[in-house]
């Protein structure tokens, strides 16, 4: 018997019509993409979608499997195109047999992505037809051709990225600021315009920080007042911190804060010595003064306990500033006894000299708090004491001189660094740089105290003008740097020049200072009383 050889030809796909033999209907989808939101591109996007809808629905051999379209997205990274990834998932689930797309560059600009997904789809029997190149992913020559064409598309993407960077560089050098809506400013004709109501909130944020409030507590304050953020949501730590550190509120603009380091992944990093930055001064009307802004930056970066403890909005008004006069440790609010005999006291539970329990007595919490507010009222009713207080603060506010000295030292450091680059072995230069940096750090601490003292003084003076002076208008920490208390005596300390840490180191000496005023206070209940003194330590 002779052999019989029969040739079985492959079924050839015909995108525009029918197959050579009767084959099952194909589940056909289309993928469209435009990379910007400009009007002409939007039109192109609509045209692509309408065209593919007509092609698929008009062909009797096709079953419509959907149109997947990414609008305003780059093609350099597949995972960042949600519709593309949804299409791939549908293909994996067996819901697509054929994908129509305008060109390789529309399918993707990343060579690796294009080839990877094309091969994966081909292995599961899904064909891709690239209309512009008139090529199918089932063609045996496709891998070689696709590598070349995708590389061209990728190079085009790199070229576009380079051109965009160049155009931004030109804008930066000319000081052209891309004005975008931020809290406190609207954008009119590409320029910032102050929104008065929001600007008042921004000023309040800076003032509260300078008066010692924590960022989280400012958020609580604003949210409790019903004030919403730019997105009409509650304020968060991050949102307020961003405002407090944004130079645009002083009328300036720092350009190129971030840089894109990879045109394919679009990875953006903070511009820390990666590329040139451009600082544009006096670009628009300021909301905050430069002096206040600089002081807030110093406060935000300061991690010392002396500044952390000055938070105004705490659960209890005296938290962080009330101490034991015997051992100099923090007094804790504590409940003692139970039932009807329960009372709240300030208790010192620390060992004195690490050897024995401190023998300091525990004053009544409510009595100390009442006496604190009474002492503030006494200050305001005593014209001589108030003038003395104002004079002390005025005499110790020397912000301008401190700023000049800090700037001078920074200039010296810059000059020394230049010398160090030329002579890296010279230890004298290194030592001088370190010494100057220490001096700068110390002066910055003094500057913080000077500026915060100025803000505290302005706030205290503003209360004098109030027709009705009530406890709700004041906070003890706006007046007192430190408080020492036991059952016999409370000492309120005011200082415009010392931090909490500095005062605690010399607290026994501080307590010997001549008082500004003194009084025997009787509780509202009339059942107990306590003696207090207010003193100023310079």
DSSP code string of 115-132: HHHHHHHHHTT-EEEETT
Residue 200 pLDDT: 93
pLDDT band at 103 (very low <50, low <70, confident <90, very high): confident
Residue 306 pLDDT: 44
Q: How much of the chain, in percent, has pLDDT values that exceed 90?
A: 17
For the chain, the average pLDDT equals: 79
Strand partners, 130: 101, 135
**Sign of the dihedral through C-alpha 165, 166, 169, 171:** negative
Mean pLDDT, rounded, for 205-217: 83
Task: Answer yes or no: are the C-beta atoms of 469 and 460 closer than 8 Å.
Answer: no
Dig out the tokens for 475 from the structure: 């906070």
Nearest to 109 by CA among 83, 146, 69, 68: 146
Number of H helices, E strands in the chain: 17, 20
pLDDT at 367 over 90: yes
Cα separation, 201 vs 144, whole angstroms: 62
H-run or E-run covering 141: none
Residue 126 pLDDT: 93
Nearest to 430 by CA among 405, 451, 413, 409: 413
Dig out the tokens for 196 from the structure: 């008065």
pLDDT band at 348 (very low <50, low <70, confident <90, very high): confident
Residue 307 pLDDT: 45
Mean pLDDT, rounded, for 408-417: 86
Dig out the tokens for 134 from the structure: 């008139």
* Burial (CB count <10 Å: 0-12, 13-18, 19+), residue 130: buried
Q: How much of the chain, in percent, has pLDDT values that exceed 70?
A: 76
pLDDT at 274 over 80: no
pLDDT at 373 over 50: yes
Lowest mean pLDDT, pick from 77-81, 196-200, 491-495: 77-81
Domain extents in the chain = 26-160, 185-301, 322-536
Convert the pLDDT of each residue in 486-513 to its tens digit: 999 999 998 877 778 888 888 889 888 8
pLDDT band at 235 (very low <50, low <70, confident <90, very high): very high
Residue 137 pLDDT: 86
pLDDT at 45 over 90: no
pLDDT band at 151 (very low <50, low <70, confident <90, very high): low
Nearest to 98 by CA among 147, 61, 44: 61
**Long-range Cβ contacts of 189-194 (<8 Å, 24+ apart):** 191/284, 192/248, 192/283, 192/284, 192/285, 194/285, 194/287
pLDDT at 241 over 80: yes
Cα separation, 481 vs 504, whole angstroms: 11
Second CATH level (architecture) for the domain 185-301 = Alpha-Beta Complex (3.90)
Residue 92 pLDDT: 93
Task: Answer yes or no: are the C-beta atoms of 436 and 416 closer than 8 Å.
Answer: yes
Mean pLDDT, rounded, for 40-51: 68
pLDDT band at 154 (very low <50, low <70, confident <90, very high): low
Cα separation, 236 vs 219, whole angstroms: 6
Bridging pattern class, strands 351-352 and 98-101: unpaired
Mean pLDDT, rounded, for 461-477: 67
Task: Answer yes or no: are the C-beta atoms of 223 and 234 closer than 8 Å.
Answer: yes
Helix (H, G, I), strand (E, B) or coil at 185: strand
Nearest to 49 by CA among 35, 34, 28, 67: 67
Residue 132 pLDDT: 86
Residue 15 pLDDT: 45
pLDDT at 12 over 70: no
Which pTM was predicted? 0.52
Q: Which residue has the higher pLDDT, 172 or 95?
A: 95
Residue 16 pLDDT: 44
Task: Answer yes or no: are the C-beta atoms of 364 and 345 closer than 8 Å.
Answer: yes
pLDDT band at 244 (very low <50, low <70, confident <90, very high): very high
Task: Answer yes or no: are the C-beta atoms of 274 and 289 closer than 8 Å.
Answer: no
Helix (H, G, I), strand (E, B) or coil at 336: strand
Q: Which residue has the higher pLDDT, 436 or 79?
A: 436
Task: Answer yes or no: are the C-beta atoms of 65 and 28 closer than 8 Å.
Answer: yes
Domain 26-160, CATH number (from 1.10.357.10, 1.10.510.10, 3.40.50.1390, 3.40.1190.20)? 3.40.50.1390
pLDDT at 264 over 80: no
pLDDT at 163 over 80: no
Residue 301 pLDDT: 76
Range among 45-59, 231-245, 311-325, 453-467 rated most confident: 231-245
Nearest to 316 by CA among 298, 303, 331, 329: 331
Lowest mean pLDDT, pick from 154-168, 207-221, 226-240, 375-389: 154-168
Q: What are the C-alpha distances in Å from 123 to residues 4, 140, 142, 409?
A: 33, 13, 14, 68
Nearest to 318 by CA among 364, 378, 382, 380: 364
Cα separation, 102 vs 55, whole angstroms: 12
């Amino acid at each position: 018997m002779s052999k019989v050889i029969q040739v079985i030809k492959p079924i050839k796909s015909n995108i525009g019509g029918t197959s050579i033999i009767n084959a099952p209907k194909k589940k056909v989808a289309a993928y469209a993409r435009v990379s910007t939101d400009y009007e002409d591109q939007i039109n192109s996007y609509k045209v692509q979608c309408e065209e593919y809808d007509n092609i698929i629905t008009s062909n009797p051999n096709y079953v419509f499997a959907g149109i997947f379209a990414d609008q305003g997205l780059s093609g350099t990274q597949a995972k960042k195109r949600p519709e593309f990834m949804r299409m791939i998932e549908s293909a994996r689930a067996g819901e697509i047999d054929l994908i129509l797309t305008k060109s390789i560059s529309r399918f993707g600009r990343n060579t690796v992505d294009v080839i990877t997904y094309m091969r994966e789809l081909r292995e599961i029997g899904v064909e891709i037809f690239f209309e512009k190149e008139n090529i199918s992913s089932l063609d045996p020559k496709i891998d070689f051709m696709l590598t070349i064409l995708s590389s061209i598309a990728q190079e085009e993407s790199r070229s576009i990225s380079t051109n965009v960077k160049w155009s931004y560089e030109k804008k930066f050098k000319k000081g052209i600021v891309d004005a975008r809506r931020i809290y406190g400013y609207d954008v009119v004709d590409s320029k910032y315009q102050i929104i008065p109501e929001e600007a008042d909130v921004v000023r309040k944020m800076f003032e509260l920080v300078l008066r010692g409030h924590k960022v989280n507590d400012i958020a609580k304050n604003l949210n409790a007042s019903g004030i919403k953020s730019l997105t009409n949501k509650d304020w968060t730590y991050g949102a307020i911190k961003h405002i407090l550190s944004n130079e645009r509120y002083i009328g300036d603009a720092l350009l190129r804060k971030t840089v894109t380091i990879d045109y394919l992944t679009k990875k953006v990093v903070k511009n820390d010595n990666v590329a040139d930055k451009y600082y544009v001064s006096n670009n628009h009307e300021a909301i905050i003064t430069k002096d206040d802004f600089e002081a807030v930056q110093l406060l935000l970066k300061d991690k010392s306990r002396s500044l952390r403890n000055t938070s105004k909005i705490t659960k209890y008004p005296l938290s962080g500033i009330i101490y034991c006069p015997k051992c100099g440790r923090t007094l804790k609010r504590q409940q003692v006894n139970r039932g009807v005999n329960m009372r709240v006291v300030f208790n010192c539970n620390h060992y004195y000299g690490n050897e024995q329990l401190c023998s300091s007595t525990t004053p009544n919490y409510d009595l100390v708090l009442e006496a604190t507010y009474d002492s503030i009222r006494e200050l305001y009713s005593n014209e001589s004491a108030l003038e003395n207080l104002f004079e002390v603060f005025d005499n110790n506010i020397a912000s301008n001189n401190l700023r000049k000295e800090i700037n001078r030292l920074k200039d010296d450091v810059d000059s020394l660094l230049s010398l160090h680059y030329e002579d890296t072995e010279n230890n004298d230069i290194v030592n001088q740089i370190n010494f100057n940096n220490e001096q700068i750090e110390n002066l910055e601490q003094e500057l913080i105290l000077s500026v915060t003292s100025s803000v505290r003084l302005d706030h205290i003076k503003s209360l004098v003008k109030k027709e009705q002076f009530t406890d709700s208008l004041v906070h003890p920490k706006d007046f007192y740097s430190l408080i020492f208390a036991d059952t016999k005596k409370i000492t309120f300390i005011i200082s415009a020049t010392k931090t909490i840490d500095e005062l605690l180191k010399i607290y026994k000496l501080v307590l010997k200072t001549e008082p500004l005023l003194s009084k025997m206070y009787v509780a509202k209940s009339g059942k107990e009383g306590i003696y207090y003194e207010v003193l100023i330590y310079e």
